[in-house]
């Protein structure tokens, strides 16, 4: 399969979804069922790899692209991932110009509160999957407290956690 066709098929999936993995049914239908260029186990591996890598879970389409077409396929997957985001430009341009009115500001304030609740709701399943032991719970709680009470960069918190994970592995008790 050419990288161009792969890009268009993956773009069809990303353009018709509104969150990371919701594009998967279309990806499976096109690449596994119709074209037969991807296996179900490769699709599962792509999802697992995206969860273990930095960035959005929707990045699994990059792994899918790589499995199908090597580096060129991976680049096609990356392009299919980023293309829909360009639609945010006209949207934010329009919405930002319409929020000067007090009622519109009240609307945005309510959206901010709801967005905090949505982030909290998204944290629950991630926490249930990620915090499989006392040491990991301590790392999560410690990170939250450090970030809430200090001005330290999140990158340092993640780096320190990664070092803790390496130390634990070196002591024969990987996290």
Partner 1 sequence: MNQKLSARALARVFLRNGAFTFGGGDATTASLQRELVTHHNWLSKHQFGVCYAVSRLTPGTNLLAFCTAVGWTLLGLRGALWALLLASIPGAAVLMLMTGFYGAATGNPWLMSAIHAALAAAVGIMLAAVWALLRGPLRRSPARTVLVALPALLLSLHGVLSPLQVLALAAGFGLVAPERGAA
Name residues contacting partner 1, limited to 72-101 (CB under 8 A): 74, 78, 81-89, 91-93, 95-96, 99
44-73: contacts with partner 1 (CB under 8 A): 45-46, 48-59, 62-63, 66-67, 71
Element (H, E) at 17: none
The yes or no reply on residue 33 touching partner 1 (CB under 8 A) is no
Cβ(86)–Cβ(13) below 8 Å: no
* One residue of 6, 9, 20, 30 binding partner 1 per CB under 8 A: 20
Please state, in angstroms and as integers, the Cα–Cα distance from residue 92 to each residue in 27, 83, 87, 98, 99, following that order: 28, 16, 9, 10, 11
8 forms part of the interface with partner 1 (CB under 8 A): no
Kindly state the smallest distance separating residue 126's Cβ from partner 1, in Å: 6
CA distances to 96, 99, 111, 126, 139 from 103, rounded to whole Å, are: 14, 8, 12, 35, 41
The least distance separating partner 1 from the CB of residue 30, rounded to whole angstroms, comes to 16
**Residue 52 tokens, joined:** 């273990």
Q: Which of 2, 4, 8, 16 binds partner 1 (CB under 8 A)?
A: 16
DSSP string covering 23-69, please? GHHHHIIIIIIIS--S-HHHHHHHHHHHHHSSS-GGGHHHHHHHHHH
Binding-residue total with partner 1 (CB under 8 A): 102
Minimum Å distance from CB 52 to partner 1?
5
Rounded Cα distance between 42 and 47, Å, is 9
Q: How far is the CB of 40 from partner 1 (least distance, A)?
A: 15
Restricting to residues 141-160, which ones interact with partner 1 according to CB under 8 A? 141-148, 151, 153-155, 157-160
Residue nearer to partner 1 on the CB measure, 35 or 78: 78
């Amino acid at each position: 399969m050419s990288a161009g066709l792969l890009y268009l098929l993956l773009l069809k999936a990303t353009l018709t979804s509104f969150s990371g993995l919701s594009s998967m049914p279309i990806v499976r239908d096109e690449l596994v069922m119709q074209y037969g260029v991807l296996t179900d186990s490769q699709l599962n591996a792509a999802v697992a790899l995206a969860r273990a890598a930095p960035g959005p879970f929707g990045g699994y389409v990059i792994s899918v692209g790589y499995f199908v077409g090597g580096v060129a396929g991976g680049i096609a997957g990356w392009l299919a991932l980023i293309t829909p985001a360009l639609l945010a430009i006209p949207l934010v341009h329009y919405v930002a110009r319409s929020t000067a009115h007090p009622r519109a500001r009240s609307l945005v304030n309510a959206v901010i509160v709801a967005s905090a609740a949505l982030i909290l709701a998204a944290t629950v399943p991630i926490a249930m999957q990620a915090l499989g032991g006392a040491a990991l719970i301590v790392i999560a709680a410690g990170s939250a407290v450090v970030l809430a009470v200090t001005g330290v960069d999140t990158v340092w918190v993640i780096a320190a956690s990664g070092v803790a994970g390496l130390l634990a592995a070196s002591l024969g008790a990987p996290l």
